[in-house]
């Protein structure tokens, strides 16, 4: 079999590659997760694709994704090396890093996040206050139609600002607006086809003009901004009284001996950048879906509001209320399941030859633990393709967890910001619904159509926010 000469014995099956560009020609970026579902129907729950000469294995469905990423997590813990990012940042930061450096950086980030508010809850009041600012902006629209995305984006990014820089920024701060625009552009470019094109011939692409060049400029802009903040922090740094992520990192730089762990100023910039990239667009898009589902299903919105009114009243909702707000909590989970914002997860790479079912996956192969296939797994959900908060409620209407709820993935690379994201989703969502009723503009029928960039997002839409 000519097509199989490069495949090891027992390598997962897949479509015939088209020479050179691989399977990319068969895939439309806007519906890529649906194409992947079709491949699974044809080739089974573990299948292979070729992309620009590289090999990729896709794992489909709850049982196998868990088996690979959690049970055999150590075998899948690396990230694929994408030449563009290697040139851009090398092994640095939190998201794309690997090996010893990643382990040290991740441990430090988790520890620092926990200190600043997951355990001690100091981020909770910051989120509540930010929700207040966000509510003011909605109130200023006076019930007129508006696209809520940018408002949500500013509020959500301010939580990472508090964590990393120790302070929020005013919504009309020009610098802040520029950073958000740069981040959006960076995420858009990183997800574009140019990243793959660059992979074929990095030596050539570096010399040619094209959108990939912009990634370098935009990254530089953001890094410069972070570096200014780092300099300011250095002047007032007091190790016995850390204010934020930068302060803690500066202390670590002073104390660490081993260079390999990546505690240096360069890595501080890239880790801060990663927290913004990973923490802003994801949470923003989830809340953007949440409000869309509320205008699409007004009776569900009413039920959430009734629950908040009964359990919380008019004071600000706090994390303690989460245990009593069963329906609200179930709605947020269902928004995450159906919003499905990272359908193809973030790519993993095998650290050694490994087996899954009866298939052999060699070392160094990119692996996609497909989250779309888990969140819509027909063997795990009662109505996989319908918005149904009942998925997360038991017979008494109490909240119940579900195994296949994996929007944050699973295993050693599981989202580092999961706890923070869940705090934000709960406090923003319940805080907004307590104060406003959201509806589609007069005469407009809301639509659940989506855009697939790097994150799976609703198509731009407008809503009206009426004070209750
Ligand atoms: C990684 C989802 C919010 C920081 C990830 C991954 C997913 C994910 C699917 C990849 C996991 C894997 O490779 O298996 C989400 C969702 C969010 C969210 C759905 C919001 C609703 C956040 C926030 C932060 C954050 C708020 C900031 C603190 C990170 C980081 C990684 C990551 C640093 C890389 C972890 C690593 O490679 O070790 N996230 N995330 N995320 N997330 Fe999140």
pLDDT at res. 199? 53
- Using CA atoms of 219, 222, 228, 234 in order, give the dihedral in degrees to the nearest 10: -80
Q: Using the atom order of ligand 1, give the atom closest to the CA of residue 94.
A: 33
Rounded to the nearest 5 degrees, what angle is found at the Cα of 117, between the Cα atoms of 114 and 119?
Answer: 60
Residue nearest to atom 1 of ligand 1 (CA): 415
Whether ligand 1 lies within 6 angstroms of the CB of 407 is answered as: yes
Q: Is 382 exposed, middle or buried (0-12, 13-18, 19+ CB in 10 A)?
A: exposed
Which CA distances in Å does 456 have to 190, 340, 389, 391? 14, 7, 20, 21
ipTM at complex level: 0.99
Determine if ligand 1 sits within 6 Å of the CB of residue 94: yes
Ligand 1 pocket check for 278: Cβ under 6 Å: yes
Q: Considering only CA atoms, which residue is closest to atom 39 of ligand 1?
A: 415
pLDDT digits (tens, 9 = 90+) for 189-240: 666 555 555 554 555 555 555 666 677 788 888 888 889 999 999 999 999 9
The number of angstroms, rounded, from the C-alpha of 136 to the middle of its chain's C-alpha atoms is 27
Question: Which atom of ligand 1 is nearest to 342's Cα?
Answer: 9
Q: Give the number of the atom of ligand 1 that is nearest the alpha carbon of residue 156.
A: 26
What is the model's pLDDT at position 3?
41
Ligand 1 atom at minimum distance from 407 CA: 19
Beta strand pairing call for 456-458 and 450-452 = antiparallel
Give SS3 for 248: helix
For residue 311 the two structure tokens come to: 């359990």
Instruction: State residue 161 phi and psi, 5-degree precision.
Output: -55, -45
**Is the overall model pTM greater than 0.90, yes or no?**
yes
Nearest protein CA to atom 28 of ligand 1, as residue? 417
Q: 91: CA distance to ligand 1 center in Å?
A: 18
SS3 203: helix
Q: Which of 52, 373, 374, 352 is nearest to 202 (CA)?
A: 52
CA distance 24 to 27: 5
pLDDT digits (tens, 9 = 90+) for 150-190: 999 999 999 999 999 988 999 988 888 888 888 877 777 66
pLDDT reported for residue 183? 81
Report pLDDT for 458.
Answer: 94
**CB of residue 286 inside a 6 A radius of ligand 1:** yes
Helices (H) then strands (E): counts for the chain:
16, 10
What does the block give as tokens for 405? 């709820």
| 421 Cβ inside 6 Å of ligand 1 | yes
- Residue whose Cα lies nearest atom 23 of ligand 1: it is 279
Q: Which atom of ligand 1 is nearest to the CA of 163?
A: 28
> For the residues of 361-399, what is the DSSP string, one character each?
E-TT-EEEE-HHHHHT-TTT-SSTTS--GGGGB-TTS-B
> Is 289 a pocket residue for ligand 1 (Cβ < 6 Å)?
no
What whole-number distance in Å separates Cα of residue 332 and Cα of residue 36? 26
**What gap in Å lies between CA 337 and CA 332, rounded to an integer?**
9
The residue whose two tokens read 């007129």 is: 144
Q: What is the best residue among 340, 417, 427 to mutate for testing ligand 1's pocket, by most ligand atoms within 8 Å of CB? A: 417
Question: How is the chain split among helix, strand and coil, in percent rounded to 5?
Answer: 55, 10, 35
Q: How does 172-198 read in b/e, with b if 16+ C-beta sit within 10 Å?
A: eeeebeebbebbbbbbbbbebebbbbb
Ligand 1: atom nearest CA of 420 is: 26
| Span from the CA of 277 to the centroid of ligand 1 (angstroms) | 9
CB atoms within 10 A of CB 99: 13
- What order of strands is seen across the sheet that includes strand 348-349? 46-51, 54-59, 366-369, 348-349
Distance 345 CA to ligand 1 centre (A): 9
Question: φ and ψ at 342, to 5 degrees?
Answer: -120, 70
Cβ–ligand 1 distance for 269 under 6 Å, the answer no
**Helix or strand (DSSP H, E) at 458:** strand 456-458
pLDDT tens string for the chain (468 positions)? 334 446 678 999 988 765 545 555 556 666 777 778 888 999 999 999 876 567 889 999 999 999 999 999 999 999 887 766 676 777 888 988 899 999 999 999 999 998 887 655 688 999 999 999 999 999 999 999 999 999 999 999 999 999 999 889 999 888 888 888 888 777 776 665 555 555 545 555 555 556 666 777 888 888 888 899 999 999 999 999 888 999 999 999 999 988 899 999 989 998 998 898 888 989 999 999 999 999 999 999 999 999 999 999 999 999 999 999 999 999 999 999 999 998 888 889 999 999 999 999 999 888 999 999 999 999 999 999 999 999 999 999 999 999 999 999 999 999 999 999 999 999 999 999 999 999 999 999 999 988 876 688 999 999 999 999
Q: Is 135 in the pocket of ligand 1 (CB under 6 A)?
A: no
**3-class DSSP state for residue 360?**
strand
Ligand 1 binding pocket mutation candidate from 282, 288, 405, 428 (most atoms within 8 A of CB): 282
Pocket of ligand 1 contains residue 339 by CB under 6 Å: no
The string of DSSP codes covering 48-117 is EEEETTEEEEEE-SHHHHHIIIIITGGGGBB----HHHHHHHSS-SSSS--HHHHHHHHHHHHHHHIIII
């Amino acid at each position: 079999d000519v097509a199989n000469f490069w495949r090891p014995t027992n390598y997962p099956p897949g479509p015939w590659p088209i020479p050179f560009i691989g399977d990319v020609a068969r895939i439309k970026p806007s519906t890529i997760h649906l194409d992947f579902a079709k491949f699974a129907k044809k080739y089974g729950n573990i299948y292979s694709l070729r992309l620009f000469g590289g090999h990729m294995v896709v794992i489909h469905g709850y049982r196998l994704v868990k088996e690979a990423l959690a049970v055999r997590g150590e075998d899948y813990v690396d990230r694929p090396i994408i030449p563009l990012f290697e040139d851009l940042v090398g092994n640095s930061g939190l998201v794309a890093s690997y090996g010893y450096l990643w382990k040290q950086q991740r441990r430090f980030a988790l520890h620092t996040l926990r200190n600043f508010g997951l355990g001690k809850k100091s981020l909770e009041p910051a989120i509540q206050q930010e929700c207040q600012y966000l509510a003011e902006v909605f109130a200023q629209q006076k019930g007129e139609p508006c696209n809520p995305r940018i408002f949500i984006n500013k509020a959500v990014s301010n939580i990472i600002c508090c964590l990393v820089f120790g302070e929020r920024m005013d919504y009309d701060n020009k610098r802040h607006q520029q950073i958000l625009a740069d981040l959006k552009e960076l995420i858009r470019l990183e997800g574009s086809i140019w990243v793959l094109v660059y992979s074929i011939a990095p030596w050539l692409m570096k010399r040619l003009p094209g959108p990939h060049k912009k990634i370098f400029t935009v990254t530089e802009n953001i890094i410069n901004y972070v570096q200014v903040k780092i300099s300011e922090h250095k002047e007032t740094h007091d190790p016995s009284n850390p204010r934020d992520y930068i302060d803690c990192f500066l202390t670590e730089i002073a104390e660490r001996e081993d260079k390999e762990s990546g505690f240096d100023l360069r890595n501080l910039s890239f880790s801060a950048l990663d927290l913004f990239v990973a923490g802003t667009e994801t949470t923003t898009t989830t809340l953007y879906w949440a409000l869309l589902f509320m205008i699409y299903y007004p009776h569900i919105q009413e039920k959430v509001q009734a629950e908040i009114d009964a359990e919380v009243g008019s004071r600000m909702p706090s994390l303690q209320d989460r245990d009593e707000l069963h329906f609200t909590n179930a709605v947020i989970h269902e928004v995450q399941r159906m919003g499905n914002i990272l359908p193809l997860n973030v790519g993993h790479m095998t650290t050694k030859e490994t087996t899954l079912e009866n298939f052999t996956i060699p070392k160094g192969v990119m692996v996609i633990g497909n989250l779309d296939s888990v969140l819509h797994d027909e063997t795990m959900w009662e109505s996989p393709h319908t918005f149904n908060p009942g998925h997360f409620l038991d017979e008494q209407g109490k909240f119940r967890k579900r195994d296949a709820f994996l929007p944050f993935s699973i295993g050693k690379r599981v989202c580092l910001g999961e706890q923070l994201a869940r705090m934000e989703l709960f406090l923003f969502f319940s805080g907004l619904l307590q104060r406003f009723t959201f509806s589609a503009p007069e005469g407009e029928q809301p639509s659940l159509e989506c855009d697939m960039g790097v994150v799976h997002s609703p198509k731009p839409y407008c809503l009206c926010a009426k004070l209750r």
